[in-house]
Structure 1
């Protein structure tokens, strides 16, 4: 299981129709809310599907 936090930026295997394949994690849990970096579109995706589709973690969220 991949450790993902709110604010992390990840690159997914398939690009969004806008052309960007980078997403920011907005909410975690059983389902994740992710936001496209290119067009700001938000989508809900199940944890298992997201973990399978992550190519790399580009940036970790700042820890307080």
Structure 2
């Protein structure tokens, strides 16, 4: 299985929804850890890259799509 290619400010869907009910997250930092922000309630969560790669389901909107 090939890893999903994600970039800063992409909107991604995780395998499990957030407690507020939303399942869309914006990537706001990429490094050894990945920081994501819930698009519904604004909660910010920092996850290790390995765990993030296991928990990501798909990219909903890439940064290139949003700029056009």
Give the alignment's TM-score, normalised by structure 1: 0.89
Q: CA deviation at 1:20?
A: 0.6
The correspondence of residues 12-23 of structure 1 with structure 2, limited to 5 A, is 12-23=14-25
Q: Over aligned residue pairs, what C-alpha RMSD do you find?
A: 1.2
The correspondence of residues 39-54 of structure 1 with structure 2, limited to 5 A, is 39-54=41-56
Stretches of structure 2 that go unaligned for 5 or more consecutive residues are none
Q: Residues 27-47 of structure 1: CA distance to partner in whole angstroms, max 9, x if unpaired?
A: 001101100011010010011
Q: CA deviation at 1:61?
A: 0.9
Q: Post-superposition, which runs of at least 4 consecutive aligned residues in structure 1 deviate over 6 A?
A: none
Map of 1:27 onto structure 2: 29
| Separation in structure 1 between the aligned mates of residue 16 and residue 46 of structure 2, nearest angstrom | 16
Stretches of structure 1 that go unaligned for 5 or more consecutive residues are none
Q: Residues 5-49 of structure 1: CA distance to partner in whole angstroms, max 9, x if unpaired?
A: 111010001011000111000000110110001101001001111
Q: Which has the larger radius of gyration?
A: 2
